[in-house]
Amino acid sequence: MSLKREAVSGSDVDERLAALITNTNAFRAIASAVEGTLGPKGLDTMLVDRFGEVVITNDGVTILTMMEANHPAARMLINIARAQQEEIGDGTTTATVLAGSLVGSGVEHVVKGVPVARVIEGLRVGLNKALEAMKRQARPVNGLGDPVIRQVALVAGRGHEDIAELVVQAAELIGEEKLRESSFKFTDAIVAEEGADNKVFMGIIINKERMNRQMPRELDNSKVLIIDDALEPEEIDDEALGTEAGFARYLQLQNEFKENVNKIVDIGVGLVLVDRGVDDIAEEILTDAGLIVIQRVSSRELRKAAEHTGSRMIKRTGLKKAPEELMKYLGQAGKAFNDEKLEQVWVLGGGGKPMATVLVGAATSEVVGERERIARDAAASVQAAIIGGVVPGGGSLELAVSREVEKAREGIRGMAAYGVDCVVEALKRPMSQIVANAGFNPLEKLGDVIAAQVETGKNSLAIDCDSGQVADMVEMGIADPASVKIYALKAAGEVAEAILRIDTIIKKREEKSINTKEPSIAGL
């Protein structure tokens, strides 16, 4: 067993704190990589791989998941950001900045002599107070017609008016009831394409073209068959094929396959989506019959198509069923057409669940990914706002909550109060970073906002990043989903506590392969 302790903060640091110090440095490095993107004046980050491929983005989770990070503590923080993205869809940068501040402040107190257990105790108290206060500040949204919905989309969409409009239109098409379903992900409706026009429509996009140009380009009111398999005959191994019985079996399977393909034509199918490859014989029969066939469709797109058209996916062996049984698996599409410019097939007016697609256009391939990420953030925030309500943005909420937590500190006895201080400092961090990114002095501006909040009793006051003056975020239309803020603080608290509890870093021994036999004690 190899035990490694490395103090990277100077030789005067007690050896006991080496693991804590090195983990904290890793946290700070990760947080510093994304904190410059926070707020309306946040800048972009360029990520370059070893082949010279470049990604330019302002999206926190993209930066974190694409960056090279070998330190285990750094990977923990990245995993927290990824969990935030999967659960809420936005707020990864905030979660990262909060976690970095909590750990950094905690370690500063530990170095000064505060026991880690007391810091963690205070951390828990402060976080509970902060989360309760955040939940109280949340304001429910009055349906999709509430003007704040567009503002949420605009803030999360980094000020892109066209994307915010698209997302709001799509939300209205989908409806509030659907958006409130926990299983529904609004972000799945987002598609970005180079050279496309911005558009919102009821339907789905299959990112494949029809198999050949002899197939029709467009179909109206067609039945849809989805094959979650290959549309090919069952195979016989080469050894069996060399025998008379095997060859006879081969011919039988070929004939059965042709019958099954002709059955697809006979029951009136117009559009066929296939998970894997399509045999040449099947392609020829279906082309002659005037069907549109799309092969090698992704599993995700197959599921969306099945849901939208009302189809039930079937395996190729299921094609042996009687025609009346096969009919039960078919869906319906009002229209299906092949867009040759975008190399896609659009399926509109499905007979299943209504589904909206947000097509975001991009002028060049370099910005397609970023436009899609922006639209996804906007969509996730709109859905989160519908479900959990909204709070004033710009860091105003966190700053107001920090004042409540500071009041609660007065009732904390002993060294646990230092842990509460960590939460107070962390809650000030988002506004401080937003102000710094806008080119203003964060200490001065935080003091101005705190004084203004206390004087007016308005918790929605923050800094206008254009003028540098104290302004009401509600009046400016700067709003964030409450769940984004709540989950970010909760996630940051959990990972901060996990890091502070680590006392020793031990290198694991290499796992031996299963076939390697360990020598027995008797044989040593």
Rounded to whole angstroms, the Cα distance separating 301 from 219 reads 19
Local structure of 231: helix, strand or coil = strand
What integer pLDDT is reported at residue 457 of this predicted model? 92
Low-confidence ranges of the chain (pLDDT < 50): 1-13, 514, 516-524
205 touches 280 (CB < 8 A): no
What integer pLDDT is reported at residue 508 of this predicted model? 67
What integer pLDDT is reported at residue 507 of this predicted model? 65
What integer pLDDT is reported at residue 240 of this predicted model? 63
In the chain, what are the domains? 9-139+391-507 (1.10.560.10), 200-362 (3.50.7.10)
What integer pLDDT is reported at residue 111 of this predicted model? 86
What integer pLDDT is reported at residue 136 of this predicted model? 92
- Greatest CA separation for the chain: 95
Instruction: State the number of CA atoms in the 13 A half-sphere of 310 facing the CB.
Output: 16
Instruction: Characterise 434 by phi-psi region: left (phi > 0), alpha (psi -120 to 50), beta (else).
Output: alpha
Stated pTM of the model: 0.78
Rounded to whole angstroms, the Cα distance separating 423 from 56 reads 32
Rounded to whole angstroms, the Cα distance separating 255 from 264 reads 15
* Rg of the Cα atoms in the chain: 29
Containing H/E element for 524?
none
- Does the CA dihedral 113-116-118-119 come out positive or negative? positive
